[in-house]
Amino acid sequence: MAAHDTDVIVIGSGLSGLVAACTALDRGRTVTLVEQEGPQSIGGQAFWSFGGLFLVDSPEQRRLGIEDSLELAWEDWEHTAGFDRDGDDGEDLWARRWADAYLDFAHRDLRPWLRELGIRLFPVVGHAERGARTPGGHGNTVPRFHIVWGTGPGLVAPFTRRLRDAVRDGSATLAFRHRVTELLTEGDRVVGVAGERLADDVTVRGEPSSREVMGEFSLRAESVVVATGGIGGELERVRELWPASLGTAPREAVRGVPVHVDGSGLGLAGAAGARLVNGDRMWHYTEGIKNWDPVWPDHGIRILPGPSSLWLDHLGRRLPSPNYPGFDTLSTLAHLRSVGAEHSWFVLTQSIVEKEFTLSGSEQNPDLTGRSVPKLLQRVLPGAPAPVQAFLDHGEDFVVAHSLTELLDGMERLSGPIDRAGVVAAIEERDDAVADPASTDPQAVEIRRAREYLGDRLVRTAAPHRILDERHWPLIAVRLRTLTRKTLGGIQTDLDSRALGAAGEPVPGLFAVGEAAGFGGGGVHGYRALEGTFLGGCLHSGLRAGRRA
């Protein structure tokens, strides 16, 4: 091999790329990080995130009386993932191995490693997606959603500091505004990258940046790590790959990630001999709302709901079990697409919105992001959290009303005719069930069950009440759309994060991490994810790549 410019090239400055780069640096390797965006975008989607991590049998869980185990976590994972591609193609072969390895990591090594990095966890463990409580149901049977104190920026910070220290000592180079368009190969080995130097751009993080080309570049290395993310920002690509199991692709989706998250790295790796698998598996949310203060086009925010809101389809029909707020994302998405719903509705009260609405993302949670205890304590005071109130005041998807007629009129103004009598009947059905302690209505049962857990009772569930109880008004309706987010398939990798070719052998010199690798193995989640495993998958796959690249 000819002389190289650096030991390791990492393409992409998101969390998995940062972890891979820092781990390689800790081994004494020299690293060049190549990123098409500017330095303001370092940290990628992790910076925008709520900072939720899936851990198993943690001290935080035990302090709250949560009984968890590695065996229970694996049972939940297997039921949720639904791995079924173990035949001749073997698309799930490495995914299963990665799932086993990740669960062990989340059980034993993740929390001690985070503490070594100075990362701390919020003491209340959440239940971001509860799943169906049926045999073989999807979801976490116990709360496992651990929020980083500092959210996404707090998780990213130790790695950016390590990288910048390495820049100062000469062991790392940061090549921002360099867009890779080709992986260089010699025979079957990947030996470097080539691409375009883009004009400097001072846009803020997440805004579309200039694609003006100022020149070309090429770099050679012993190892190249693809950390370029998925396709969530490229709506047409999402629609093209939309799985038949989820019905027809939505026409009115909002973006949960910036437009530059377009999956370009997948094509580069495929052209260099890597095998791409499970491209039809993806994870999108049904609780998306238009950001009233957008950063990128069609910028959507996800509501992390508690269990009490009434969920209706576009015509006003109550969604069937287990499609309740915060339960089974893909089941709900499949149902809505099967009935032709481009949007759906939450109907709730001011009391519910104050206690149960959390908006996903670091910028929507300034108290946790800023590690501010005084601001955090304000969550228990009357009134909606300030970011939620801003959406109530300015969001185009919100209807706030002081009578049932006003609510129904507002819903129709936003989205056209609804079955007004059906909406009223659904509210009354839900209210009668919630008011009856002996009711077997599945949603009422789940509301009661949620409040048995101390963490939910303290910060995530409102005291049960009728939506038509005027003491809890105003009434609120929220129009929800599909929010694009994660690619679950990608570059197939072994447990060293080495990219595998069509014959199942490693492509020499090529590694893949994070979402580009399906968070490990080309699809560690199978068809569905347990909440908190996206950031965890970035950490895990980046760590394994950095130890070998």
Q: Mind listing the pLDDT tens digit of every residue in the chain (549 residues)?
A: 467 899 999 999 999 999 999 999 999 999 999 999 999 999 999 999 999 999 999 999 999 999 999 999 999 999 999 999 987 679 999 999 999 999 999 999 999 999 999 999 999 999 877 765 565 668 898 999 999 999 999 999 999 999 999 999 999 999 999 999 999 999 999 999 999 999 999 899 999 999 999 999 999 999 999 999 999 999 999 999 999 989 999 999 999 999 999 999 999 999 999 999 999 999 999 999 999 999 999 999 999 999 999 999 999 999 998 899 988 888 999 999 999 999 999 999 999 999 999 999 998 999 899 998 888 877 777 888 899 999 999 999 999 999 999 999 999 999 999 999 999 999 999 999 999 999 999 999 999 999 998 888 888 899 999 999 999 999 999 999 999 999 999 999 999 999 999 999 999 999 999 999 999 999 999 999 998 999 999 999 999 999 999
Q: How many CA atoms lie within 13 A of 427 on its CB side?
A: 23
3-state secondary structure labels for all residues of 80-132? HHCCCCCCCCCCCHHHHHHHHHHHHHHHHHHHHHHHHCCCCECCCCECCCCCC
CA distance 122 to 62: 14
Yes or no: say if 335 and 454 are a contact pair by the CB < 8 Å rule.
no
CB within 8 A of 199, min separation 6: which ones?
Answer: 177, 210, 212, 213, 214
pLDDT at residue 2, rounded to an integer = 61
Looking at 244-293, list the stretches that DSSP marks H as alpha helix, in order from N- to C-terminal side. Answer: 264-271
Buried b (16+ CB within 10 A) or exposed e, 367-376: bbbebeeebb
pLDDT at residue 135, rounded to an integer = 57
pLDDT at residue 1, rounded to an integer = 47
Closest CA to 423 of 404, 399, 446: 404
CA distance 219 to 173: 12
Q: Position of tokens 């969530």?
A: 232
Q: Sign of dihedral through CA atoms 495, 501, 507, 513?
A: negative
Yes or no: say if 311 and 345 are a contact pair by the CB < 8 Å rule.
yes
Residue 303: strand pairing partners: 359
CA distance 273 to 167: 32
In this structure, are strands 178-186 and 189-198 parallel, antiparallel, or unpaired? antiparallel
Neighbour count for residue 115 (Cβ, 10 Å): 11
3-state secondary structure labels for all residues of 478-531? EEEEEEEEEECCEECECCCCEEECCCCCEEEEEEECHHHECCCCCCCCCCCCCC
Copy the structure tokens of residue 342: 């481009």
Q: Sign of dihedral through CA atoms 253, 210, 178, 163?
A: negative
Closest CA to 479 of 342, 363, 295: 342
Yes or no: say if 545 and 23 are a contact pair by the CB < 8 Å rule.
yes
Phi, psi of 120 (to 5 degrees): -115, 160
Radius of gyration of the chain (CA): 23
Q: How many CA atoms lie within 13 A of 239 on its CB side?
A: 11
CA distance 122 to 372: 12
Yes or no: say if 148 and 121 are a contact pair by the CB < 8 Å rule.
yes
CA 546 to the chain's CA centroid: 23
Yes or no: say if 306 and 449 are a contact pair by the CB < 8 Å rule.
no
pLDDT at residue 383, rounded to an integer = 85
